[in-house]
């Protein structure tokens, strides 16, 4: 099916009323574009480690929607113009210009899967999408089945590769691991396959936790070997109650791994020590190279000593222990 994209040039003030009007007409999938600056709370919630490009807030906005053949385009345009004209008596509505475009009906959620193919890491770790067939398998291969859904973590990004390499280096058979910001669960699953005695993966996103649980099941890993929960160590909630270990009784992890972002690792370094054994390893990644020194400074100021630093292209993994 070919959908018609209808875009209305309007103002920020008119966006809510116009969106409600379109909703009343049965229009779904309304998209709003404006230059209203993001709040600091919005930016923190996005967890991005690249500069956000924001335009000048001039009060203008675009409201777009996608309509199928059940709508008469000319009638819909006339209804929208009439509503904007009515609103114009009470508030600015912009130019009222309406443009049309066409787009094919595609499965945008799943189209990326055609580019995610099985690949090999560190000789014997094979990352296999659940929907792909695997033909080249060696006897000692560790095959990790992954369907990240919309959660972060296919294993192909440098940050994840760095973490996998450090887990191979520092994880010993029987170790306990806390995977903070576990995403699709790939690092948690690999930790179990590398011989961890118990792994706890935690993410702030419920969708990611659901994806990681599904990935745990497809890799035939039991819940008593890999626990997955939703929680936020930086939010001030009662995270200890969600922990697989009773940190109040001194139970701690041999390894804490955090493949997140520099701006999260920096405050995390101030709250993670109660969960890490005195001789344990804090493996961090997701750090863009321009923020390497800031992360090191945060670790040192929070009572850690840095024992290893590994680079891969523009990304950095820093390994620390309690000083």
147-188 confidence digits (pLDDT tens): 755 445 454 567 888 988 899 999 999 999 999 988 888 889
Q: Give the pLDDT of residue 48.
A: 44
Q: Are 251 and 175 in contact (CB under 8 A)?
A: no
User: Would you tell me which CATH number, out of the four given (3.40.50.300, 3.30.420.40, 3.40.190.120, 3.30.70.120), belongs to the domain 2-104?
Assistant: 3.30.70.120
Q: What does residue 59 show for φ and ψ, rounded to 5 degrees?
A: 85, -5
% pLDDT > 70, the chain:
77
Asked whether residue 122 carries a pLDDT value surpassing 90, the answer given is no
- Which SS3 state, helix, strand or coil, does residue 174 take? coil
Tell whether the model's pLDDT for residue 59 goes beyond 50: yes
Q: Give the closest residue to 56 by CA, choosing from 20, 21, 96, 12.
A: 12
Domain positions in the chain are 2-104, 153-322
| pLDDT per residue as tens digits for the range 213-228 | 988 888 888 988 999 9
Tell me how far CA of residue 73 lies from CA of 11, 33, 69, 251, 279, in angstroms.
22, 22, 9, 64, 67
pLDDT value of residue 38: 56
**C-alpha to C-alpha distance for 284 and 262, rounded to whole angstroms:** 9
**CB-based burial of residue 186 (10 Å sphere; 0-12 exposed, 13-18 middle, 19+ buried)?**
buried
Residue 114 has pLDDT above 90, yes or no: no
Greatest mean pLDDT among 34-48, 91-105, 115-129, 147-161: 91-105
What is the distance between the alpha carbons of residues 294 and 268, in angstroms, rounded to a whole number? 13
For range 306-320, the mean pLDDT:
93
Q: Which residue has the higher pLDDT, 321 or 69?
A: 321
Domain 153-322 has CATH 3.40.1190.20: no
For the chain, counts of helices (H) and of strands (E):
8, 14
In the predicted structure, residue 117 carries a pLDDT above the cut 80: no
Range from 70-74, 91-95, 105-109, 173-177 carrying the lowest mean pLDDT: 105-109
Chain segment 263-301, per-residue pLDDT in tens: 899 999 999 998 999 999 999 998 888 899 999 999 999
Model pLDDT, residue 52: 44
Work out the pLDDT band at 31, boundaries 50, 70, 90: confident
């Amino acid at each position: 099916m070919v959908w018609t994209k209808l875009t209305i040039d309007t103002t920020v003030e008119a966006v809510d009323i116009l969106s409600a009007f379109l909703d009343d007409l049965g229009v779904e999938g309304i998209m709003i574009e404006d230059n209203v600056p993001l709040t600091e709370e919005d930016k923190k919630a996005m967890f991005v480690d690249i500069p956000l490009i924001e335009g000048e807030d001039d009060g203008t906005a675009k409201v777009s929607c996608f309509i199928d053949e059940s709508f008469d385009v000319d009638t819909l345009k006339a209804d929208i113009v009439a509503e904007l004209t009515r609103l114009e008596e009470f508030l600015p509505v912009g130019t009222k210009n309406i443009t049309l475009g066409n787009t094919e009906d595609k499965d945008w959620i799943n189209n990326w899967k055609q580019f995610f193919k099985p690949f090999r890491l560190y000789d014997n770790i094979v990352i296999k999408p659940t929907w792909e067939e695997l033909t080249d398998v060696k006897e000692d291969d560790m095959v990790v089945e992954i369907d990240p859904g919309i959660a972060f973590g296919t294993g192909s990004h440098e940050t994840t590769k760095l973490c996998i390499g450090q887990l191979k280096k520092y994880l010993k058979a029987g170790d306990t691991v806390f995977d903070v910001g576990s995403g699709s669960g790939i690092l948690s699953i690999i930790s179990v396959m590398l011989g961890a005695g118990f792994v706890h993966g935690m993410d702030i996103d419920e969708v990611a936790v659901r994806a990681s649980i599904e990935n745990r099941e497809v890799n035939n890993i039991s819940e008593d070997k890999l626990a997955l929960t939703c929680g936020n160590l930086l939010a001030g909630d009662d995270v200890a109650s969600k922990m697989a270990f009773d940190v109040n009784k001194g139970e701690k992890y041999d390894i804490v791994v955090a493949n997140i972002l520099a701006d999260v690792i920096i405050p995390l370094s101030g709250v993670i020590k109660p969960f890490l054994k005195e001789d344990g390893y804090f493996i961090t990644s997701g750090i863009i190279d321009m923020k390497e020194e800031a992360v090191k400074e945060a670790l040192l100021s929070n009572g850690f000593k840095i024992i290893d630093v590994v680079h891969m292209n523009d990304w950095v993994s820093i390994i620390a222990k309690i000083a």
